[in-house]
């Protein structure tokens, strides 16, 4: 266990924490978006919170064209990708 911990540098730990935080934030933003969409849809067309697929962002942008939640969701996704690339480069290939 101590051998694994000694191989992790501080930037790798910070990148992993940022990636996890961005993933949790993206999930919470998606839930907010689903809630806003479901307010406008009839009950038989509402989106489930458990299995919603990829249509949430597209439908949200159609229903709320000026809202910045979709942009924030995209920013979380980009942050996750950058952190993942950082982790691959500096943890896996170090």
Question: What is the per-residue pLDDT across 12-50, written as a single tens digit (0 to 9) for each?
Answer: 899 999 999 999 999 999 999 999 999 999 999 999 888
Give pLDDT, residue 77. 95
Report the distance separating Cα 13 and Cα 10, nearest Å: 5
Q: What total of structural domains would you count in the chain? A: 1
| Residue 59 C-beta-side C-alpha neighbours within 13 Å | 18
Mean pLDDT value across residues 86-90:
89
**5 part of a folded domain:** no
**Residue span of the structural domain in which 66 resides:** 13-41+52-92
Widest CA span in the chain: 56
CB 86 within 8 A of CB 10: no
32: number of Cβ within 10 Å: 14
pTM of the model: 0.83
């Amino acid at each position: 266990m101590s051998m694994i911990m000694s191989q992790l540098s501080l930037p790798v730990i910070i990148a992993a924490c940022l990636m996890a935080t961005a993933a949790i934030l993206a999930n919470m933003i998606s839930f907010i978006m689903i809630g806003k969409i479901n307010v406008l849809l009839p009950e038989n067309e509402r989106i489930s919170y458990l299995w919603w697929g990829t249509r949430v962002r597209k439908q949200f942008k159609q229903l709320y064209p000026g809202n910045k939640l979709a942009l924030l969701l995209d920013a979380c996704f980009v942050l996750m990708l950058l952190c993942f690339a950082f982790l691959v480069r500096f943890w896996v290939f170090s």
